[in-house]
Structure 1
Amino acid sequence: MPLSRPARLLTVSGLALLLVTGGCSGGSADAPPERDISARLESARSRLDDAASLKIRLVSDDLPDGTVGLVEADGFGNHDPAFEGVVTIVGAGLGQVDADVVSVKGDVEAKVGFVPRFTPVDPADLGAPDPAALLSADNGVSSWLTQSDQLTVGEDSRDGETILTSIRGELPGAVVQQLIPTADETAAFDVVYRLDDDDALRDAAITGPF
């Protein structure tokens, strides 16, 4: 499954999910005019969904003893949705296991160690998300931009000469759990998106009980 040069990077760490976009426009040193918050997030989602391919990395820190789940996933993907890379999981009695994983439109196959062939797997059995599902333009991480509520504008920050606007909000746990099976569906997850003045998503942090 050859994929072109990535345009985005996604990282999940511990109780936080960090989405960092690459190849963003430079923006300007002047603060942008006030605009509707929801409209800006819709614009940011469109820009993310228009990316031809993505570089994705997920990391879970300090998993409790006995937990079966994702430790790390690192690879490339696109909006088919598709993913190709290496996934590390931890399971009872197994320790950490590295596997080459290919996922296309819900069909996930893995090859462990020196095993010569890929075999079908169900990520839910391992407490892990389907990496490709995170990249879906319909129901992937980008959809969180338009499902966030309780939106407020935070303080501006700078990345070099670029002024970034912080938008804070909440995501229902049930929405997060659709992609991250270990998320608490009864919780509200705090989210902070940072956009440049062209509404390109520079990064996002989502925290809560994963």
Structure 2
Amino acid sequence: MRTRHLLPALLATVLVLTGCSGGSDSSEATGGDEAKLQERLATAKKTLDTAETINLALSTKQLPDGITGLLSAKGKGNHSPAFTGTVNVVTGGASLGADVIAVDGKVWAKTGFLPDFTAIDPDDLKAPDPAALVSADAGISQILVKTTKLRDGGQSRDGKDVLTTIKGVLPGDVVATIIPSASAGQTFQVTYRLDDDDELRDATLSGKFYPEGGKVTYTVAVSTSDTPVSITKP
């Protein structure tokens, strides 16, 4: 008789304890944890903003059919802001690559059928001024301190390095300052990876970057250097 009464009591206790511990698997940061994540991202921003040179590689695997937009950009820049490197855009269903120099608010490109650098308007290609990406306080670095709903995404490896993942949400109007075609009224999911020194290794942004298409995911990998780079107009 005692056994028959004891088993239901034990089962009820297990269910109660399970219910109480059910929130422990949540990846949402508590107030204290979120403050720590914000602090780490602020440190990463400071590192980018004080670097002499930023090496940057931004890319997406593909754009929606029929979209004119940025496929990739790779190069180096400084906080003038100025940038030199290569850019690939999709226009008319074809991929177009070009060497680019961006300085003093202007962009010049040289392609296979344009042997000399020619001034272009990146807005025509639904692409950003690449120099804007490395602008202090207005480029890639600004998103680090404007991300909300931060949560710890665990750790991952990049070669021998163990990186901390931080996830969050970015307002569309912030993302649009980097890639102007982004829908300002939408929100974007973002994932950062930081090393042990709180330096940004890469950031992945997903959302509606082009009004006519669906979700697009861009990944931007960055590294910094204390060696200055001189970039002048062609």
Shorter-chain TM-score bucket reads 0.7 to 0.9
- Structure 2, unaligned stretches of length 5 or more? 1-32, 210-234
The structure in which a higher percent of residues are helix is 2
- Cα–Cα, structure 1 residues 198 and 71, in superposed 2: closer, same or farther, change >3 Å? closer
> 2:204 is matched with which residue?
205
SS at match of 2:203: strand
SS at match of 1:71: strand
> 2:117 is matched with which residue?
118
What whole-Å deviation, never above 9, does each CA across 1:139-166 have from its counterpart, x for those lacking one? 0011100111112223244556654332
- Cα–Cα, structure 1 residues 153 and 108, in superposed 2: closer, same or farther, change >3 Å? same
> 2:182 is matched with which residue?
183
What whole-Å deviation, never above 9, does each CA across 1:8-41 have from its counterpart, x for those lacking one? xxxxxxxxxxxxxxxxxxxxxxxxx997222221
Bigger mean CA deviation after superposition, 102-111 or 169-178: 102-111
2:120 maps to a residue whose letter is V
2:47 maps to a residue whose letter is R
1:128 maps to a residue whose letter is A
- Cα–Cα, structure 1 residues 178 and 62, in superposed 2: closer, same or farther, change >3 Å? same
> 2:45 is matched with which residue?
45
Question: 5 Å matches for 1:72-91?
Answer: 72-91=72-91
Bigger mean CA deviation after superposition, 179-188 or 151-160: 151-160
The percentage of aligned residue pairs carrying the same residue is 50
Please, what TM-score do these two structures have when normalized by structure 2? 0.66
In structure 1, C-alpha distance between the alignment counterparts of 2:96 and 2:155, rounded to whole Å? 42
What whole-Å deviation, never above 9, does each CA across 1:79-109 have from its counterpart, x for those lacking one? 221111222222238x333222110132111
Please, what TM-score do these two structures have when normalized by structure 1? 0.73
The offset of 1:196, in angstroms, is 3.0
In structure 2, C-alpha distance between the alignment counterparts of 1:185 and 1:149, rounded to whole Å? 16
In structure 1, C-alpha distance between the alignment counterparts of 2:142 and 2:203, rounded to whole Å? 13
* Structure 2 contact 54–77 (Cα < 8 Å) conserved: yes
- Cα–Cα, structure 1 residues 87 and 149, in superposed 2: closer, same or farther, change >3 Å? same
**4+ runs of 1 displaced by more than 6 Å?**
none
> 2:143 is matched with which residue?
144
Aligned-residue CA RMSD in angstroms?
A: 2.5
SS at match of 1:44: helix
1:133 maps to a residue whose letter is A
SS at match of 1:90: strand
> 2:130 is matched with which residue?
131
* Structure 2 contact 34–151 (Cα < 8 Å) conserved: no
- Structure 1, unaligned stretches of length 5 or more? 1-32
What whole-Å deviation, never above 9, does each CA across 1:174-196 have from its counterpart, x for those lacking one? 11011112322222111122223
1:111 maps to a residue whose letter is K
In structure 2, C-alpha distance between the alignment counterparts of 1:117 and 1:148, rounded to whole Å? 41
In structure 2, C-alpha distance between the alignment counterparts of 1:197 and 1:35, rounded to whole Å? 17
1:81 maps to a residue whose letter is P
- Cα–Cα, structure 1 residues 35 and 186, in superposed 2: closer, same or farther, change >3 Å? closer
In structure 1, C-alpha distance between the alignment counterparts of 2:52 and 2:191, rounded to whole Å? 25
In structure 2, C-alpha distance between the alignment counterparts of 1:195 and 1:62, rounded to whole Å? 25
1:137 maps to a residue whose letter is A
> 2:8 is matched with which residue?
none
